[in-house]
Amino acid sequence: MSNKVEQLKGKLIVSCQALPEEPLHSSFIMGRMALAAKEGGAVGIRANTKEDIQEIQSQVDLPVIGIVKRNYGDCKVYITPTMKEVDELMEVKPEIIALDATSAIRPDGQTIDEFFQQIKDKYPNQLLMADCSTVEEAIHADELGFDFIGTTLVGYTEQSRNLKIEENDFEILRKIVESVKHRVIAEGNINTPQKAKRVIDLGAFSVVVGSIITRPQLITKSFAEAL
C-alpha cells in the first residue's frame, strides 16, 4: 500500500460531496471544500464523480476515495453500482474506489461477488473499499478481498434500518473490527470530534466525516430546529 494511503491511519478523511439538488453542487466548490478540509487537518478526501475528483486533485495532494452515485430505476444500489462508474473513476485514478458491498443485486443483475471479481479482473491493482450496512456484509466483503471495509451504509438499507453506528458504544464497528482482517474505515453519522476519536480508539484504521463539515444546509438546520 502506498505511503499516501498509509498516511490515512488514525486520521481524518473528509467527504466533500454535493448532489445536483444541493446548493453547493459544483466541482469548483468541492475543490475549495477539499482545500479547506486539508487546511483543517484532513489527510484524505472522499468524493463523488470524476469531475469533482479531478478538480479536488488539482487543489490538494491527498489520497481520494472515489465514488459515483447513480440511480438506476428502483435499484437499491446507487454507490458505484456498475462497471460504467468504475471505468469513469479510473479515468482520474483515485487511490481508492468505494462501492456498495451490500447483499442487494446490482442494476445489471450481478451479485457483489460477481461485480467484485469483474473489477479485479479489469483493474487488479486498484484498491477497493466496501460500503457495508451490517456485520455480515462486512465479513463477506472481507472474505472477498476488499482492501478496506466501511460502515458507510449502516442504517441506510432495508436489512440495517434499525441499526445505528453509534449505538452501544459503536458495537457494530467493534464487531466488524474483531471479525475482519482488512482495514476498517468508520463512516456514517460520526458527527462530533469525540465520536471520531472514539472510533479510532476502537480500532478503525481511519474515519470519514461528511455532512457535519461539508453540508452547511444540514448544519444550519440543526441550529434552526433547536431554536
Which element (helix H / strand E) includes 226?
helix 216-226
Instruction: Work out the angle at residue 137's Cα, subtended by the Cα atoms of residues 131 and 139, and round it to the nearest 5 degrees.
Output: 105
Assign 71 to helix, strand or coil: coil
Grouping H, G, I as helix, E, B as strand and the rest as coil, residue 119 is helix
φ, ψ for residue 110, nearest 5 deg: -80, 150
- CA–CA dist 32, 24 (Å, integer): 11
Say how far residue 62 (Cα) sits from the centre of its chain. 15
Which residue range is the domain that position 118 belongs to? 3-226
What angle do the packed helices 27-40 and 50-59 form, to 10 degrees? 40
How many domains does one find in the chain? 1
Q: What whole-number distance in Å separates Cα of residue 172 and Cα of residue 181?
A: 16
Q: CA separation (Å) from 120 to 45, 65, 69, 188, 220?
A: 23, 17, 20, 26, 42
pLDDT in tens, the chain (227 residues): 888 999 999 999 999 999 999 999 999 999 999 999 999 999 999 999 999 999 999 999 999 999 999 999 999 999 999 999 999 999 999 999 999 999 999 999 999 999 999 999 999 999 999 999 999 999 999 999 999 999 999 999 999 999 999 999 999 999 999 999 999 999 999 999 999 999 999 999 999 999 999 999 999 999 999 99
The pLDDT score that the predictor gives to residue 1 is: 81
User: How far is Cα of residue 8 from the mean position of the Cα atoms in its chain?
Assistant: 13
* Closest listed residue to residue 27, CA positions, set 51, 3, 48, 43: 51
Which residues share a beta bridge with 14?
A: 45, 209
- The pLDDT of residue 64 is 98
The reported pLDDT for the residue numbered 205 is 98
pTM for the model: 0.97
Query: Cell 469483474 belongs to which residue?
Result: 118
Residue 140 maps to which CATH number? 3.20.20.70
Question: What DSSP state is assigned to residue 41?
Answer: T
Q: What pLDDT was estimated at residue 2?
A: 84
Which residues lie below 8 Å from residue 84, measured CB to CB, with a gap of 6+? none
Q: How many other CB atoms are found less than 10 A from the CB of residue 128?
A: 22
